[in-house]
């Protein structure tokens, strides 16, 4: 511990000299003024230009805002996209990925069905059969513009199973609208 040394200690009889007298002032008010004492004011139009304008909805016959058909060149390769989606589903079944990460890639009904399948498997205290699947092949065909149908074979242990997917174009991206194991 350090102590500061004083060269000339004050004695009990000495007083420090005050340089100027101290003034005590009241503290300022800290509460805001009451607004409920002021009568309410009504605002009125001031001049001839302050008038209510008539509302007439305009009907536009633009074709520019209508949804345009998605061109095949705007979409990625459906077979590669489907393989990546199946990898995501396998990772979700194994618990390595949450289902919410695939929500943008799946239609709500497919996501709900997958969630129900995984939930049933969890209630039986068994992993879903797709948790250890290995994708062997993915084939794609496009029966219409903006639609792709895929079939895939996955191997689980010594068994080989088929998976069918239907992809539809949605905002220049593929979206899985049907999934069947």
Mean pLDDT of the chain: 80
pLDDT at residue 138, as a whole number: 95
**Domain of 151, in residue numbers:** 72-180
Quote the number of domains for the chain.
1
Q: Is residue 128 part of a domain?
A: yes
CA-closest candidate to residue 181, choices 138, 143, 148, 152:
152
Give the single-character DSSP code of 116: H
pLDDT at residue 108, as a whole number: 92
One-character DSSP codes across 45-106:
--STT--PPPP-PPPP--STTSPPPPPGGGSPPHHHHHHHHHHHHHHHHTTSS-GGGGTTTB
Scored b (16 or more CB within 10 A) or e, 32-68 reads eeeeeeeeeeeeeeeeeeeeeeeeeeeeeeeeeeeee
Q: Is residue 147 part of a domain?
A: yes
pLDDT tens readout for residues 124-170: 888 888 888 899 999 999 998 889 999 999 999 899 999 999 999 98
What CATH number did the domain enclosing 139 receive?
3.10.450.50
pLDDT at residue 72, as a whole number: 67
Percentage of residues in the chain having pLDDT higher than 70: 67
Q: Which residues have C-beta within 8 Å of that of residue 127, sequence separation ≥ 6?
A: 93, 94, 95, 121
The pLDDT-based confidence of 177 (bands split at 50, 70, 90) is very high
Percentage of residues in the chain having pLDDT higher than 90: 33
Q: What is the pTM of this model?
A: 0.60
Q: Is residue 16 part of a domain?
A: no
pLDDT tens readout for residues 143-156: 988 899 999 999 99
pLDDT tens readout for residues 15-52: 666 678 888 888 887 877 666 666 666 666 556 666 66
pLDDT at residue 36, as a whole number: 64
């Amino acid at each position: 511990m350090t102590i500061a040394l004083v060269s000339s200690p004050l004695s009990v009889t000495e007083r420090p000299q005050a340089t100027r007298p101290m003034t005590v002032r009241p503290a300022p008010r800290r509460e805001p003024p009451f607004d409920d004492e002021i009568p309410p004011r009504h605002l009125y139009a001031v001049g001839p230009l302050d008038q209510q304008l008539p509302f007439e909805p305009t009907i536009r016959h633009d074709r520019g805002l209508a949804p345009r058909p998605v061109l095949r060149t705007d979409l990625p390769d459906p077979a590669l996209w489907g393989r990546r989606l199946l990898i995501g589903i396998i990772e979700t079944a194994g618990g390595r990925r949450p289902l919410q990460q695939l929500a943008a890639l799946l239609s709500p009904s497919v996501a709900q069905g997958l969630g129900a399948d995984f939930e049933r498997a969890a209630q039986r205290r068994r992993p879903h059969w797709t948790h250890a699947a290995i994708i062997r092949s993915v084939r794609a065909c496009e029966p219409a513009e903006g639609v792709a149908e895929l079939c895939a074979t996955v191997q689980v242990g010594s068994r080989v199973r088929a998976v069918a997917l239907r992809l539809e174009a949605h905002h220049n991206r593929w979206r899985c609208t049907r999934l069947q194991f």
